[in-house]
Amino acid sequence: MRLSLWAGLFMAGVLSAPALAADFTVPPAPTHYVTDNAGALSSAKQASVDAELKAYEKATGHQVIVWIGDTTGDVPLETWTGETAHQWHVGRRGKDDGAILFLFMSDHKVRIEVGYGLEGSLTDADASRIIRDDIVPRMKADDADGAVSSGVAAMLTTITPSYAGVTPPPAAENTPPPAVSGFVIAIIAFFGLLVLFFAFVIFMIVARKGAPAEKKEGKGSTFWSSAGGGSSSSGGTDDSSSSDDDFSSGGGDFGGGGASGSW
């Protein structure tokens, strides 16, 4: 009897957990394309990405936004972002062509929510790849600016491959080639000069043997005059050296498409 009582209490707790987790207040719908409630971004990067997303909507009609907070609390990540995306209605009504990049700084979690209408062009696999390759490595390096910029650029060019109005992701630092020691350079230079010397000697011998006897005495001067007759020229090239950014959702809807990650 006691065992059945504990089993019943356990099952009741399990069944009520989703309801408790889902019982949270969705934050107000954003009024900008980039909302940073955690102070993760520099003001310049927030403004530039905001302008990019506004221009993207103007060019394509698709609505893509960024929202950064601290934590989802006791609510599971996908529940928090899915319900929030559903109530914000990002994307156009009837087209459902919205996408949201969520970052939670204290939780070290990221989620891309994709509207119904973009699930064919920004698949779950695409969202997972963008999180894995473009966002997480930069977040691990404490580069929120780079993570958001790269993530947004990847999202936009994945949804619309022909779209060119994005800031390219920061280039990865190339590992410098191994330094060549001074001794190796000296050896290479020595053998190079040696080869040139022997080539010059052979050329002079062949030239003298092939010249008529009466002109051999003047051959040296002829050679040097012809060698010095070439001209070289060098020239340098002259080095030539808002208030309307408010975002308003269009009535779209979401159905759970996207991907999650952590750093």
b or e along 153-166 (b: 16 or more beta carbons within 10 Å of the residue's beta carbon)? bbbbbbbbeebeeb
d(CA 250, CA 222): 85
Question: Stretch 95-106: mean pLDDT, rounded?
Answer: 97
Residue 193 lies in a domain: yes
Mean confidence (pLDDT) of the chain: 78
Residue 176 lies in a domain: no
d(CA 3, CA 10): 11
Domain count, the chain: 2
Asked whether residue 128 carries a pLDDT value surpassing 70, the answer given is: yes
161 pLDDT tier (thresholds 50, 70, 90): very high
Is 164 found in the same domain as 255? yes
Residue 131 lies in a domain: yes
Give residue 186's pLDDT: 66
DSSP codes, 144-177: HHHHHHHHHHHHHHHH-TT---SPPPPPPPPPPP
The domain in which residue 192 lies consists of 182-214
250 pLDDT tier (thresholds 50, 70, 90): confident
222 pLDDT tier (thresholds 50, 70, 90): very low
Identify which of 136, 27, 129, 142 has the alpha carbon closest to the alpha carbon of residue 85: 27
d(CA 188, CA 195): 11
Residue 133 lies in a domain: yes
Asked whether residue 143 carries a pLDDT value surpassing 80, the answer given is: yes
